[in-house]
Amino acid sequence: MTTTISEIIKQNTLGQSEGFPIGVPESWNWYKGWNGEGQETPPSNMTAVEGWAQVYQEVGGGGYYNPNAKIHVANAKTYVHLKATNQWVLVQDQAKLGLGGGHFVTNFAGNAGSAMKITKNADGTHSFDMPTNSYNDHFWFGGRGTFAAGSVDGVYTQYDMRVDDPKARVVAEVGADWWLNASAPYLQDHSNNPGVGSNNWVDLTTKWKTLGYHSMSAEQFKASPPPVFSGSAPTTSKPELELKPSATTSPPTGSGLDKIVVKAQADVYNGGANFGLSVDGKLIDGSNLVTTTRASGQWQTFEFTGDFDAAGVQSHKVQIVFDNDAFGGSGKDRALYIDEVSFNGVSNGQDWAYPVNGSHAWDFAL
């Protein structure tokens, strides 16, 4: 389905909720929807994000409940915005990570809840029971999105949703939390996962609706929207990500005294994996196509030369961004794998896998 930047901005404008959630205290800042009171940029030590969503019975909706009615979800994605390059990078994708969740008491008292059966359908969508008056549907991706500490200044998450019973009166919202890292546990004081924010409440109907939350200002969002607004609309049957063209199929070279060497391989689907490389926040080269396959067991070598250490600084951060993920079903996937990175002969042997678009940084002390 399609949506517009204007519609998403409306969903993130104070006072534009279409209804309100039953069982949530009216004094809570998210009861009325978007409020702009969250932590819009991640703390300096945070390296992960979780896009989430929740569905509630609607205040004044009459309390109708059908145990056979389902909420359906499609095309859920989360992007982070990189400060250094002004790029949006996809870090969570329903098609790859799936969804998890639970039925929680409406005010989350004691974080009490029960298991929620989530079914993956043949068309790639997911579905689960509609909420009751006492419990919500709270759900999220099957894995957190990750990024290099200090590299991100915004997030956008979106979910397509509908309910299959026209009598149901339910509202939904989407939002995001920063996380300390990809595996940090939940703590009651939220020190491991400060909230970013959420959009306004949207009435769900039997027709698909796109719900989106962005942490940036409306002006910033208009000036630099995520890729989902720049190409063809996502579909529920073939989730497809924007592909960015690569300018070269051979390792790039330059001139200078410093050398960075990257060894990479890829899962190839409709072309190789592209990555961009930055040093200390400055983009060096954004077009590096990896065509050596993981199945071959070989590694493709990329060399970057230039005055990367011109200031004589002894500590440097090399960041690699994978930006053209693609998925066409089982066995049809594009992914990037980094074996090691070296800077002027100093090797950082940490390997890193990018199953979806994302960024990671290698630190060097020369």
Q: Which residues of 80-112 are buried (b: 16+ CB within 10 A; e: fewer)?
A: bbbebbebbbbbbbbbbbebebbbbebeeeeee
pLDDT at 242 over 60: no
Contact predicate 191/208, CB 8 Å: no
pLDDT at 236 over 60: no
Write out pLDDT tens, residues 307-351. 887 666 678 999 999 988 888 888 888 999 999 899 998 998 888
pLDDT at 254 over 70: no
Q: Which residue carries 């309100």 as its tokens? A: 20
Determine the pLDDT at residue 245: 29
Tokens representing residue 195 in the block: 């909230």
Tokens representing residue 344 in the block: 């002027």
Give me the sheet containing 282-290, strands edge to edge.
Answer: 282-290, 273-279, 315-322, 358-365
Determine the pLDDT at residue 22: 97
Q: What is the CATH number of domain 258-365?
A: 2.60.60.40
pLDDT at 240 over 60: no
Write out pLDDT tens, residues 115-149. 899 999 989 999 999 999 999 999 999 889 999 99
Write out pLDDT tens, residues 163-208. 999 999 999 999 999 999 988 888 889 999 999 999 999 999 999 9
Write out pLDDT tens, residues 274-307. 999 999 888 888 888 898 898 888 899 998 888 8
Tokens representing residue 302 in the block: 């990329």
Rg of the chain (C-alpha set): 22
Domain boundaries, the chain: 5-229, 258-365
- Grouping H, G, I as helix, E, B as strand and the rest as coil, residue 10 is helix
| Interatomic CA distance for residues 171 and 61, integer angstroms | 10
Determine the pLDDT at residue 331: 81
Question: What number of residues does the chain have?
Answer: 366
pLDDT at 237 over 50: no
Dihedral sign from CA coordinates of 152, 153, 156, 157? positive
CB < 8 Å & 24+ apart, contacts of 13-19: 13/200, 13/218, 16/200, 17/171, 17/200, 17/201, 17/202, 18/171, 18/200, 18/201, 18/202, 18/203, 19/58, 19/59, 19/60, 19/61, 19/169, 19/171, 19/201, 19/203
Which segment of 25-29, 33-37, 69-73, 291-295 scores lowest on mean pLDDT?
Answer: 291-295
pLDDT at 39 over 50: yes
Confidence band, pLDDT 50/70/90 cuts, at residue 111: confident
- Grouping H, G, I as helix, E, B as strand and the rest as coil, residue 11 is helix
What's the mean pLDDT when you consider all of the chain? Answer: 88
Q: Which residue carries 């979106």 as its tokens? A: 158
Determine the pLDDT at residue 366: 73
pLDDT at 101 over 70: yes
Strands 152-163 and 70-82: antiparallel
Determine the pLDDT at residue 230: 63
Q: How many C-beta atoms lie closer than 10 Å to residue 261's C-beta?
A: 17
Write out pLDDT tens, residues 196-231. 999 999 999 999 999 999 999 999 999 999 999 864
